[in-house]
Amino acid sequence: MTMAAACPGCAAAPLAIEHAKIHAAPALVLSLPGIHCAACIGKVERKLNALPEVNDARVNLSLKQVSVQGNDIDADSIVAELKSVGYDAYPLDLAYLETRQDSVGRNLLIRLAVAGFAMMNVMLFSVAIWSGASDTTRDLFHLISATISLPAVLYCGQPFFSSAWTALRVRGLNMDVPISLAILLATAMSLYEVMNGGKHAYFDAALSLTFFLLIGRYLDHHTRSSVRSAAKELAALEVHTAQRLEDGKAVKTAVSSLAVGDRVLIPSGVRVPVDGTLDSLNALSDRSFLTGESAAISLTMGEIVQAGEINLGAPFEMTATAVGNDTTLRRVATLVEMAENSRNSYTNLADRAARIYAPAVHLLAFVAFVMWVWIDGDIRHALNVAVAVLIITCPCALGLAVPAVATAAIGRLYSMGFLVKSGTALERLAEVDIAIFDKTGTLTLTGRAANLDHLSATHTSIARALTQASDHPVSRGLLAALPSGPIADLTDISESPGNGMQGIFQRQAVRLGRGPWLGANFSSVGLRVGLEDAIALPLHEVPRKGVKTALDGLRALGIPTRMLSGDTQDAVNALARRLGVDDVQAQISATGKHDYLMELQQQGSHVLMVGDGLNDTASLAAAHASVAPSTALDASRNAADVVLLRENLDDFPTLIRIARATSRLSKQNFAIAAGYNAIAIPIALLGYATPLLAAIAMSASSITVIANAMRVRFVK
């Protein structure tokens, strides 16, 4: 008896059902920062797939993630299993990733695949026709090609058609108008040939044209979205449940329900859900997601804890100070996206050129059509030339010239610990010719204070009240050194920029700050209560890691360095000699810093200002370009163009080198785009370029521009 062959769909049905069962199971997505090769993938997948509760585990090396499907999966047990084979794993928010997934990129890829599949099939019929098929056979193959091509072109060309229609609807033009016109003309011309029994049809050319245009569009989108994907990955590190302390008991609750002032328990190995201050005596935290520093950070009571950190020590308690969109994690992700979407003078120049191109391209194509009809009277050939001109003159490469470089540069700098906030920052950083640094908190870090046992209980409580009201590095250093105890009830607390903190205690003025401001005869920080003599509170100050390398590197780039500080002349001179800085200004006020900087800029200098304090804010805002460390006050970080996320300064010269490379590569991309048009347009006008060759040439120019832009990733 003859057995009937199973249809492919029926044979595949059981496999599809099993696949659906696997992927319908709950999914757990973990970040695996330690994987780097195929061996890592095999090791992780074998370990997880051997677990009875896991149905399927797949590693994505490019995203450094593993997706685990199964029933009753316990995230902690999966993390422990991966730890046992040498890989640290951190849970990601799958719901967040799904809501922020790249639907535009996915749609472009789907349309690209459909165009490629249809193009290959139509080309098979074209080969048969070129091989000698004629008459009825040729007409049949043309009809089949039309049946495949028309729906494919209409579907795959939607990104261009919808953009063109949006422009035309408001009586405008953009680069997608000539592209759409070229695709539709090539298709309509082929359909006309088929309906009239013509010997030639160009459906393969129309599909190839669409295919190569989609390649260029996808590369454009992928390049522009690379920084956003980094921000999305960062924001996905947020946790969504927390243990809120209510009447001394830990109650599991949604992070979205936490409010400022809530006290939260952070168990060992768990990410911090919100920003806050540490209530426990000490804690050990991993802040590498933000700073890139792998070493654990020791925290003491009263210090800041940020959302996304991992508790590496014993459980600790904290009080929430920022929740939701106000957390450090959310703000960083938002700033990265703002930088990617920002514009600079090069971008605006490219946009203006593109706006001029659109009407010029249509006029040029019309002139080419009329010229060739007049030359040889062949309307079909004239249309071919006009379509080729429409495609080959599309300013895609020009539109990509700057965004491709800027996006690659911003992504590279973010991975190095530089958060670029402004779209014009790199352009301005490339022009700086002098660098001014603040001292305390910028070139130096404030260590612990010397022995403070000489303070009375009252003085200690007043000092704690004043220091905890300030984010200045000196205040943080003192707060960490002061013994724990009650906090004085002060009123009218305020900060005097560059001097210190002041308030009222039991109708007495109290001050904590620089000795001269207190009327004391010492230069260090001190405390004064009422009319009593000021009490010295000496602090140890140490240079930041890599500061000597940074300053030497800037000088090697031709950028002289100067130091401005409100500290005493002796303290400033001592650090200047150690770092090799010749030009210093000591005991200078916030106004003095600003005036000094403005005078330099009025003389034609392009000043880079690097500072962290309230007294640096005006200078940061007025400078040609500015950088603030992540430990700076909020006002200083907001005023700065770039935020330095790491404590180490040794990569600082690379920031300037990348900025200069960004400017140089942007100009090179403009030259590439202009050179391409100077060569390609005459070739198209002379009739030597078919629509297909024009599409390939246009895509090649876009790919060349992107490849040139990627060179910024290798700047050292």
Lowest mean pLDDT among 210-219, 530-539, 615-624: 210-219
Per-residue model confidence as pLDDT tens digits over 41-84: 667 888 888 888 888 887 765 456 788 888 778 888 888 888 88
- The confidence score (pLDDT) of residue 263 equals 92
Domain boundary among 58, 92, 126: 92
**Which CATH number characterizes residue 599's domain?**
3.40.50.1000
- The confidence score (pLDDT) of residue 228 equals 46
3: pLDDT strictly greater than 50? no
- The confidence score (pLDDT) of residue 220 equals 61
Q: Which residues are catalytic?
A: 438
Please indicate, yes or no, whether residues 464 and 434 belong to a single structural domain of this protein. no
- The confidence score (pLDDT) of residue 172 equals 64
The answer to the question of residue 247 being in a domain is yes
The answer to the question of residue 465 being in a domain is yes
Domain boundary among 492, 527, 542: 542
- Split at pLDDT 50, 70, 90, the class of 20 is very low
For the segment 641-659, the average pLDDT, to the nearest whole number, is: 88
Lowest mean pLDDT among 3-17, 92-106, 269-283, 593-607: 3-17
**Which CATH number characterizes residue 480's domain?**
3.40.1110.10
Q: Which two tokens stand for residue 350?
A: 């490219």
Q: Are 551 and 561 in contact (CB under 8 A)?
A: yes
Please indicate, yes or no, whether residues 375 and 471 belong to a single structural domain of this protein. no
Please indicate, yes or no, whether residues 548 and 532 belong to a single structural domain of this protein. no
Per-residue model confidence as pLDDT tens digits over 131-157: 566 667 767 877 888 888 889 989 998
For the segment 189-201, the average pLDDT, to the nearest whole number, is: 71
Most confident of 59-63, 212-216, 555-559, 636-640: 555-559
Of residues 623 and 238, more confidently modeled = 623
Please indicate, yes or no, whether residues 217 and 114 belong to a single structural domain of this protein. yes
Domain boundary among 323, 357, 374: 323
Please indicate, yes or no, whether residues 116 and 226 belong to a single structural domain of this protein. yes
- The confidence score (pLDDT) of residue 341 equals 44
The residue count for the chain? 716
- The confidence score (pLDDT) of residue 689 equals 79
Please indicate, yes or no, whether residues 401 and 432 belong to a single structural domain of this protein. no
Of residues 337 and 173, more confidently modeled = 173
Please indicate, yes or no, whether residues 567 and 437 belong to a single structural domain of this protein. yes
Per-residue model confidence as pLDDT tens digits over 673-695: 888 878 888 888 888 877 667 76
3-state helix, strand, coil in the chain (%, to 5): 55, 20, 30
Task: Please choose, from the candidates 180, 185, 184, the residue with its C-alpha nearest in 3D space to the C-alpha of residue 161.
Answer: 180
The answer to the question of residue 7 being in a domain is no
Instruction: Give me the chain's average pLDDT, please.
Output: 76
Please indicate, yes or no, whether residues 357 and 270 belong to a single structural domain of this protein. no
- Split at pLDDT 50, 70, 90, the class of 11 is very low
- The confidence score (pLDDT) of residue 614 equals 65
Of residues 225 and 34, more confidently modeled = 34
For the segment 553-566, the average pLDDT, to the nearest whole number, is: 89
672: left (phi over 0), alpha (psi -120 to 50) or beta: alpha
Lowest mean pLDDT among 115-119, 229-233, 678-682: 229-233
**Which CATH number characterizes residue 297's domain?**
2.70.150.10
- Split at pLDDT 50, 70, 90, the class of 130 is low
β-pair partners for 262: none
Distances (CA, A) of 130 to 120, 127, 307, 381, 526: 15, 5, 65, 19, 92
357: pLDDT strictly greater than 70? no
The answer to the question of residue 97 being in a domain is no
Total of domains in the chain: 5
- Split at pLDDT 50, 70, 90, the class of 284 is confident
Please indicate, yes or no, whether residues 601 and 631 belong to a single structural domain of this protein. yes
Please indicate, yes or no, whether residues 57 and 173 belong to a single structural domain of this protein. no
Of residues 680 and 434, more confidently modeled = 434
Please indicate, yes or no, whether residues 117 and 225 belong to a single structural domain of this protein. yes
The answer to the question of residue 508 being in a domain is yes
- The confidence score (pLDDT) of residue 670 equals 81
Q: How far is CA 383 from the centre of its chain?
A: 44
Alpha-helical segments (H) within 581-651: 590-602, 617-622, 634-639
522: pLDDT strictly greater than 50? yes
- The confidence score (pLDDT) of residue 642 equals 87
Distance CA 691, CA 153 (A): 15
The answer to the question of residue 98 being in a domain is no
β-pairing, 297-300 with 282-286?
antiparallel
Per-residue model confidence as pLDDT tens digits over 589-648: 777 888 888 899 889 889 999 988 767 777 888 888 889 887 776 667 777 888 888 878
- The confidence score (pLDDT) of residue 560 equals 92
Q: Which two tokens stand for residue 73?
A: 């999966």
Lowest mean pLDDT among 212-216, 265-269, 641-645: 212-216
Task: Measure CA of the first residue to CA of the last residue in the chain; give whole Å.
Answer: 74
Which percentage of the chain shows pLDDT scores above 70? 76
For the segment 409-431, the average pLDDT, to the nearest whole number, is: 82
For the segment 360-367, the average pLDDT, to the nearest whole number, is: 80
Please indicate, yes or no, whether residues 119 and 218 belong to a single structural domain of this protein. yes
Q: Which two tokens stand for residue 588?
A: 């200078």
Distance CA 295, CA 312 (A): 11
For the segment 201-221, the average pLDDT, to the nearest whole number, is: 73
Distance CA 630, CA 632 (A): 5
For the segment 689-704, the average pLDDT, to the nearest whole number, is: 74
**Which CATH number characterizes residue 69's domain?**
3.30.70.100
The answer to the question of residue 456 being in a domain is yes
The residue range of the domain holding 168 is 104-230+342-406+666-714
- Split at pLDDT 50, 70, 90, the class of 19 is very low
The answer to the question of residue 527 being in a domain is yes
- The confidence score (pLDDT) of residue 601 equals 87
